[in-house]
Amino acid sequence: MKDLAQANAGKFLDPAVTAKGDARATVSLSSPKTLWFNTGTLCNIACLNCYIESSPTNDRLVYISADEVTDYLNQIDDRNWPISEIAFTGGEPFMNPEMIEMAERSLARGYEVLILTNAMRPMMRSEMQKGLVALNETYPGKLTLRVSVDHHDPLLHDAERGEGAFEKTLTGMKWLRDHGIRMAVAGRSIMAENDRESRQGYAAFFARHGFDIDAQDPGMTVLFPEMDETVEVPEITTGCWGILNKSPDALMCASSRMVVKRKGDISPVVLACTLLPYTPEFELGATLEQAEKDVSLNHPHCAKFCVLGGASCSA
């Protein structure tokens, strides 16, 4: 078997061409739909395979503020982007003390709001609960919380997130259910299950607890492929679109951008992708205007997660 270091030698180095000298595929921002904000990389837990390495001590991305979010909402208007959704990820977004205010300002502009959460203790603090109830009452049908449930089997979920994590998340989901707050779920396409069996397992889990979540809808039960940078992956060339029968317009970077604030920086920056917060070449500038440039698919995640895996962080 070919050594992985040898197999991947020379790949993903040049944004314009592949290791074999073929023209590398690029993606244009053809239909902006979602603007993501990373609320900060601090999290109440540390998962084994967190792509962003969130933990109780990782503050490489610091808390973004409501005023900084407002600045980008104004830029959406200035650039006339047809954004329909503002989404928040982390870290754990509910550790950011301004999470409710950021969501409220986005909802007040008429956007749908998506918040990714583990539904554990940060979300269950009284001020966050009161805020969520108020937002849901004021903007009915516009707020969705996507809860991380890595697997419908508690043992497999806890193997990723720590002993007892499943029950804590379940408690949060029951609270959301009882207060009529719309939920979606994010899982991992792991173990030996195929997509059908995995969705059947989630469907049974949802039915058992009375959760109004469609396990067959890939926008409501999102099953992410794994992002393992140690495995060999092909580079995506301009010829791959026809070979794979895929369109660049279907990729995340055709419809979304993410705003982050790095530790020590005065102001936030805009990234091409939610999956690559620490990769300098995917930083597009400080403004949405600068972020309108094409994105070169020059990272293993581009191939494995987005093109071949067919995944998207948005619904």
Distance CA 208, CA 186 (A): 18
The pLDDT of residue 229: 58
Q: Which residues contact 84 (CB under 8 A, 6 or more apart)?
A: 33, 34, 111, 112
- 40: nearest Cα among 27, 16, 17, 57: 57
If one looks up domain 28-232+248-307 in CATH, what number appears? 3.20.20.70
What is the domain partition of the chain in residue ranges? Answer: 28-232+248-307
Q: Which residues contact 89 (CB under 8 A, 6 or more apart)?
A: 36, 37, 38, 39, 116, 258, 274, 313
Inter-axis angle of helices 154-161 and 165-178, to 10 degrees? Answer: 110
Strand pairing category for 221-224 and 256-260: unpaired
The pLDDT of residue 1: 35
Per the rule left: phi > 0, alpha: psi between -120 and 50, beta: everything else, 33 is: alpha
Beta bridge pairs of residue 148: 186
The pLDDT of residue 28: 96
Distances (CA, A) of 8 to 5, 237, 239, 269: 5, 15, 20, 30
The pLDDT of residue 3: 47
**pTM (whole model) above 0.85:** yes
Per the rule left: phi > 0, alpha: psi between -120 and 50, beta: everything else, 147 is: beta
Return per-residue pLDDT of the chain as tens, 315 residues.
344 445 566 788 899 999 899 999 999 999 999 999 999 999 999 998 888 999 999 999 999 999 999 999 999 999 999 999 999 999 999 999 999 999 999 999 999 999 999 999 999 999 999 999 999 999 999 999 999 999 999 999 999 999 999 999 999 999 999 999 999 999 987 655 788 999 999 999 999 999 999 999 999 999 987 655 566 788 899 999 999 888 999 899 999 999 999 999 999 999 998 888 988 889 999 999 999 999 999 988 888 778 876 545 544
- 114: nearest Cα among 91, 67, 147: 147
The pLDDT of residue 311: 47
